[in-house]
A and B are shown apart, each in its own frame.
Chain A
């Protein structure tokens, strides 16, 4: 049968098992939208901004592990996708972005709505294609999906000129869609490939010899679906597990062997543990600068085992003693057979002691804090909701206080740190997980970057709950200005913001406001009962709150800053999710007194 390029595109998407396309129409994708008009098995979601489409495809992918698909027209449509593609690229998220292009004869002539999107996205895609002949379209799409989901996943862009999607050719999907892709120049490691046995044996040996080992687990463990293997390895060896921002959930964060996130805003105990370890087992993690701080002083006493599917990550930042290239799940499975069981040791006790001395804490003074909001939100859905975040202080608080039980429950822009990501990513996740509640933790700044997607949530009846931690400022920037720029607050004031309650109502959703923990409890119950439209909860928190602990950029755990507010410390506090009282835990108080003294001395100097 003769099919147009646009019809072939949809046939190919069907073959790839695509269920949702997040897109926005325009001139050079008119033939594609005409084909979509007749397509009822693949759902097209009309967004309100192409960046929203890219983030939705991303949220869809992060919450399922499947390839997310977005679609935009040439020129401005394509360039609007760019931030979303870069976000996915930095976090190795499988995505196929399809863009229209001006007709092949007009390319290079500065035609109306022409943008060289393959050129623009070259550094932010794993690969991209400009398809110049309809005969090449099916192959390009098959390769695009293959490249996006295999090896270290990533976004792939396919640019389709208008005439290519219009032209008709004889096409039989069974015969003409390549089922087995072989690209001679692309042979990534995979779950079924051979594993480097010798290296794994060496790793097992180092683990047997180590006295102070730590597992440092990143997004690679999530991508390869290795939660069970990480858990089994930790349990068999009693090695405590810290994760990166993207590795959250690789071990249930309520597991006794979990010590939370490490790095700039990681837990003090995770950072102390890594710093004093004699063996660091990096699993699908890339020694990002937000994790290491000053690399030369990072975990100086530790030997390093580095497991990663991307050979280029090995030795990029840190030269490991035992590099192991391959699929995390496959390698951990082998490693598990070789490691000897190891009882919990003094080292485990030491880390637990740090955990007692330096818990995550926030005041319990009747005020509403972001930490409350996060804990209550999580509890509201029995800790089984999917949490998407925006970027800023609220994101770091969420990383500290939202305890993931599993992978793919936590959706956040790590590498690029894209404000505006949260709401559309939550919407994408909601499409993929109709049986789960999806919440979005946002800031008053970030939320205003993608607000228009509330309309998408309303149109499709998605009960996404967006909780805005409203500190009336660009909090994270304000924090840096306070700490490192002598409190010269430049352009961070957001006193002037829309009334978020009215705003969501204008979009057809429901809005609430909470000023105290009790008020929040009340509105959360109401929010939970709403199941057919988006909800926004405007949570008013103090402007002056800072995220602690904090290791300033490029420094070490020795320079870690902790909460220095003695008044707050004296009050009873919430610590690591439990009610604590300071009088009961002298060690903590003495730590605070130390910190306050140090801070005061510094000021006096």
Chain B
């Protein structure tokens, strides 16, 4: 009964993983996902306010049972300090994209209008192309990419999602508490 309800909740989850900033720790996390057959939709890694701690934001696909297993298996890695699941939390999620799009003279005005509406920026231009920088939710990025594809996208890169809980709650604070 509970199993089938959980299985129906197929979705993407954003989790934040605080890890010791050791060499090889990314390989451990990535290897865990690979060998247990979990899907990484996106992955972003960076340092935090504490140099000895790195922060990974991972978007994973799966039902709640899979998410629970991922969380538990991650926690088993010796170098993982904390795993925070944002499914139930109000959180800000952002992603950045750089889009190199064809900019023929006849299309330029239209493209610049799209850029304005999406609060994006043109950060480079040549006689044939623009590079557009845009930040926002995955959804927003998908939409602008969709609109721009009509002009011919030459190159696209996205950072992957990073996330942070709204309000005063912090993941890194929790990590620090745990460490103390």
Contact = CB atoms under 8 A, between A and B. Distances in A.
Contact of A123 (B2, B35, B68, B78): B35
23 contacts: A119-B24, A119-B27, A122-B27, A122-B31, A123-B31, A123-B35, A127-B78, A130-B24, A185-B19, A185-B20, A185-B79, A185-B80, A185-B81, A310-B76, A311-B75, A312-B72, A312-B73, A312-B75, A312-B76, A315-B65, A315-B68, A315-B69, A316-B69
Interface in A263-321: 310-312, 314-316, 319
Contacts of B27: 119, 122
Contacts of A119: 24, 27
B16 to A, nearest CB: 15
Interface in B71-88: 72-73, 75-81
Contact of A183 (B28, B65, B78): B78
B3 interface: yes
Contacts of B179: 184-185
A316 B69 CA distance: 7
Contact of B69 (A122, A127, A312): A312
B76 A319 contact: no
A484 interface: no
Contacts of B20: 185
Contacts of B35: 123
A311 B72 contact: yes
Nearest to A296: B3
Interface string A109-128: 00000000011001100110
Interface of A: 118-119, 122-123, 126-127, 130, 147, 183-186, 310-312, 314-316, 319
Given A185-B20, A312-B72, A319 B3 contact: yes
- Binding site secondary structure of chain A: mixed
Contacts of B73: 312
Nearest to B74: A312
Contact of A118 (B24, B32, B65, B178): B24
Contacts of B68: 315
Interface string B78-113: 111100000000000000000000000000000000
Nearest to B82: A185
Nearest to A312: B72
Contacts of A319: 2-3, 65
Contact of A126 (B32, B69, B78, B178): B78
A311 B70 CA distance: 12
Interface string B140-163: 000000000000000000000000
Interface string B51-79: 00000000000000100110011011111
A312 B77 CA distance: 11
From A118, A183, A312, A316, residue with most partner B Cβ within 10 Å: A312
A356 B80 CA distance: 52
A529 B7 CA distance: 62
Contacts of B32: 123
A147 B78 contact: yes
B81 A184 contact: yes
A126 B78 CA distance: 8
A161 B102 CA distance: 53
Given A118-B24, A185-B20, 14 more contacts: A122-B28, A122-B31, A183-B78, A184-B178, A185-B78, A185-B80, A185-B179, A186-B78, A310-B76, A312-B72, A314-B72, A315-B68, A316-B69, A319-B2
Interface string B25-43: 0011001100100000000
Nearest to A183: B78
B17 to A, nearest CB: 11
Contacts of A123: 31-32, 35
A119 B3 CA distance: 36
Contacts of B72: 311-312, 314
Contacts of A314: 72
A185 B28 CA distance: 14
Contacts of A126: 78
Contacts of B78: 126-127, 147, 183, 185-186
A188 to B, nearest CB: 9
A345 to B, nearest CB: 28
Contacts of A316: 69
Nearest to A152: B76
Contacts of B80: 185
B19 to A, nearest CB: 8
B21 to A, nearest CB: 11
Contacts of A311: 72, 75
A272 B179 CA distance: 48
Nearest to B81: A185
A147 B77 CA distance: 11
A185 B177 CA distance: 11
Nearest to A156: B78
A293 to B, nearest CB: 17
Interface string B156-180: 0000000000000000000000110
A119 B24 CA distance: 8
Contacts of B65: 315, 319
A312 B80 CA distance: 14
Contacts of B178: 184
Nearest to A151: B76
